[in-house]
Amino acid sequence: MGKEDKKTKYEGEEVKERKKKRAKSDKKDKKENDKKENDKKEKKEKKEKKEKKEKKEKKEKKIVADMQD
């Protein structure tokens, strides 16, 4: 029985180590995914802002052109 107890304890330690490594890995993956999502979101917001600005400029140019006619 003494050997079995040691083996169980050892396997328990292995499991703990694996869980610890996995948790660390999962945390890292989550951080990377969050960064990707934030980058994507920022890019989308930038694009929308640019499109809005271009639309506004077009509208202003049209108004100026109509005034000159």
**Residue 64 belongs to domain spanning:** 18-69
> What pLDDT does residue 7 have?
61
Answer yes or no: is 11 within a domain. no
- Residue 67 tokens, joined: 């005034």
Answer yes or no: is 22 within a domain. yes
Q: What is the 3-state secondary structure (H, E, C) of 3-68?
A: HHHHHHHHHHHHHHHHHHHHHHHHHHHHHHHHHHHHHHHHHHHHHHHHHHHHHHHHHHHHHHHHHH
Number of residues that make up the chain? 69
Task: List per-residue pLDDT tens for the chain, 69 residues long.
Answer: 455 556 666 677 888 899 999 999 999 999 999 999 999 999 999 999 999 999 999 999 988 888 886
The position carrying tokens 């079995």 is 4
Answer yes or no: is 64 within a domain. yes
Number of domain units in the chain: 1
Is the pTM higher than 0.85? The answer reads: no
